[in-house]
Amino acid sequence: MVVVIVLLGLLSALVVPSFLPPPLEPDDAVQRVIDAARRTALRRAETITLSFGPDGRWVSDRGGESGTLADPPVSPMRLQISPLGKCLLDGTRGPEPAQSIDPVRCRLIPAR
């Protein structure tokens, strides 16, 4: 019985960190904009399209939010954020973005 409890403790120590979101870098402005748009989509229960330009400008199609990033993303990208918080890259306009995104957590996946 004690062996089973010890094994379950070791297993949970290995698995639990994978459920925690990775910490944000303090200077990750792109992720902060995505998180704010996701919160807005959840609060308003509507789909939001978020566009990032090559010059660092970003704009949201709902509510007219926009701004400029000091450190622009590698390439322009458009995200569609569902009312349930799911994020998808919109590849219908322009080239495929250099970054990818975790659709469930809505987190940018760094290029390897």
Res. 49 pLDDT band, cuts 50 70 90: very high
What's residue 80's pLDDT?
94
Evaluated on CA atoms 32, 35, 40, 43, the torsion sign reads negative
* Pairwise pLDDT comparison (23 vs 7), residue with the higher score: 7
> What are the residues facing 101 on neighbouring strands?
108
Average pLDDT of the chain is 82
Residue 17 has pLDDT above 90, yes or no: no
Across the range 40-60, mean pLDDT stands at 91
Residue 80, number of CB atoms within 10 A of its CB: 16
Residue located via tokens 């120590």: 13
- pTM: predicted TM-score of the whole model, two decimal places: 0.70
How far is the C-alpha of 26 from the C-alpha of 74, rounded, in Å? 18
Give me the half-sphere count of Cα atoms (radius 13 Å) on the Cβ side of residue 22: 12
Tokens of 63: 């509510």
What's residue 90's pLDDT?
82
Res. 83 pLDDT band, cuts 50 70 90: very high
Residue 24 has pLDDT above 80, yes or no: no
Cβ contact 50:34 at 8 Å: yes
Across the range 68-80, mean pLDDT stands at 82
Q: For the chain, what percent of residues have pLDDT higher than 70?
A: 79
Domain map (residue ranges) of the chain = 48-112
